[in-house]
């Protein structure tokens, strides 16, 4: 039914307009108690065997919504209603900003992919922190907060901008993510270099600890799939050195290899997400797990469409997985289907729990 609706309605609309329309429906449905309870029962069945603990947090399962869909924490209950086990909001910047000029979001239907150059359009960390503080959850959901650099802030002042967001948002976050890997903010990816990343992550860690005294907010960094292997190793080593809690692999790519969509689409600038990232994101994840020896929580994202895709990330070392682009193409029953497929895959694997399966392929390869 959704495939038909997508073909007849959403595909004919501007992608960003379609996003706002769907997002509005989700928000409104979540505000009606009887409706949200019915939809949650339909779309978010719980599988006991998928219960997950990661980053010191307990979740119904390992599958979450990647950052980018809910930039301003406006529909956390709505996304939990649709079956996501954790919701990562953002990217949120220190100051509000409109993002890049439209059109800035493109569907590559033939590739089951998206290109975006949104440019961190969001209401700013003060407004998002206030919304999170006022939230009265209808569903128990783990909420991660992804923070990035305000475009107008010079690179030399980037750490202070991240610190501002961390101080405001850490009290309301189950975990924090430092995003230094979007291709849509000039100079941002330069911050992935270890000489820049070390002081940045140190400053954000200290800011989160100042802002939240009664608990330690887990801190992760999100990296690009376009990093060279030696740079991935360097980030992994730095994460261990600084005592980070984890790494998210990966963000969007600036690569365009192997696409089938028309040239006028593939030539658009921005970050490519969706199915074409599947192979490289899995490679990066395997490398990170091998390098860190399972001492960090790894979150796999990029090209996850099915329960089998999620299962392969878990075998490669991911404790949690995330998706976004496939939601555009598969609709509201996507999370339900993926959970069902993943539960069946776990039962057939011989592993008692998902935690037992994390890194199984990589450990096997080493032996």
Annotation-wise, does 117 bind a ligand?
yes
Calculate the alpha carbon distances from 175 to 86, 96, 154, 222 in Å: 10, 21, 26, 13
User: For residues 238 and 184, which has the higher predicted lDDT (pLDDT)?
Assistant: 238
Q: Residue 100, annotated ligand binder?
A: no
81 assigned ligand-binding residue: no
First-residue to last-residue Cα distance in the chain: 47
pLDDT in tens, 16-36: 999 999 999 999 999 999 999
Residue pLDDT, tens place only, 44-53: 999 999 999 9
Q: Is 120 annotated as a binding residue?
A: yes
Catalytic residues: 182
Report CA-CA distances (Å) from 155 to 188, 189, 200, 242, 363: 8, 11, 11, 22, 40
User: The whole model's pTM is what?
Assistant: 0.96
Q: Give CA–CA dist 152/147, Å, rounded.
A: 15
67 is in an annotated binding site: yes
Residue 133 has pLDDT above 80, yes or no: yes
Which class is 2-366 in CATH?
alpha beta
Q: Please return the burial class of 159, using the count of CB atoms within 10 Å of its CB with bins 0-12, 13-18 and 19+.
A: buried
Task: Read off the pLDDT of residues 94-131 as tens digits, 9 standing for 90 and up.
Answer: 999 999 999 999 999 999 999 999 999 999 999 999 99
Annotated binding-site residue? 91 = yes
pLDDT category at 162 given cuts 50, 70, 90 is very high
Residue 64 annotated as binding site:
no
Question: What confidence score (pLDDT) does residue 55 get?
Answer: 98
Tokens for 52, please give them: 């997950």
């Amino acid at each position: 039914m959704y495939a038909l609706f997508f073909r007849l309605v959403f595909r004919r609309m501007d992608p960003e307009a379609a996003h706002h329309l769907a997002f509005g429906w989700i928000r409104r449905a979540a505000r009606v108690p009887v409706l949200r309870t019915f939809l949650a029962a339909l779309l978010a069945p719980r599988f006991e065997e998928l219960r997950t603990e990661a980053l010191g947090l307990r979740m119904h399962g390992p599958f979450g919504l990647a950052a980018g869909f809910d930039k301003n924490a406006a529909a956390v209950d709505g996304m939990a209603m649709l079956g996501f086990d954790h919701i990562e909001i953002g990217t949120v910047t220190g100051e509000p900003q409109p993002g890049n000029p439209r059109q800035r979001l493109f569907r590559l239907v033939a590739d089951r992919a998206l290109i975006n150059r949104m440019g961190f359009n969001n209401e700013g960390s003060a407004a998002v922190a206030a919304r999170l503080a006022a939230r009265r959850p209808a569903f128990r959901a783990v909420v991660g907060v992804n923070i990035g650099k305000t475009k107008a802030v010079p690179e030399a002042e980037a750490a202070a901008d991240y610190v501002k967001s961390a101080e405001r948002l850490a009290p309301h976050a189950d975990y924090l993510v430092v995003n230094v890997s979007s291709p849509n903010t000039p100079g941002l990816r330069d911050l992935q270099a270890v000489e820049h990343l070390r002081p940045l992550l140190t400053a954000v860690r200290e800011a989160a600890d100042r802002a939240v005294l009664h608990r330690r907010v887990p801190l992760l960094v999100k990296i690009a799939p376009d990093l060279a292997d030696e740079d991935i190793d360097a980030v992994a080593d730095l994460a261990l050195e600084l005592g980070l809690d984890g790494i998210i692999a990966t963000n969007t790519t600036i690569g365009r290899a192997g696409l089938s969509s028309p040239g006028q689409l593939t030539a658009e600038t921005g970050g490519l997400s969706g199915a074409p990232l599947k192979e490289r994101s899995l490679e990066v994840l395997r490398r990170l797990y091998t390098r860190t020896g399972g001492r960090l929580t790894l979150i796999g994202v990029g090209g996850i469409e099915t329960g089998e895709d999620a299962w392969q990330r878990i075998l490669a070392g991911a404790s949690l997985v995330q998706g976004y682009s496939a939601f555009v193409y598969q609709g509201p029953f996507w999370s339900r289907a993926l959970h069902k497929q993943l539960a069946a895959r776990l039962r057939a694997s011989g592993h008692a729990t998902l935690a037992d399966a994390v890194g199984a392929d990589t450990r096997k390869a080493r032996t």
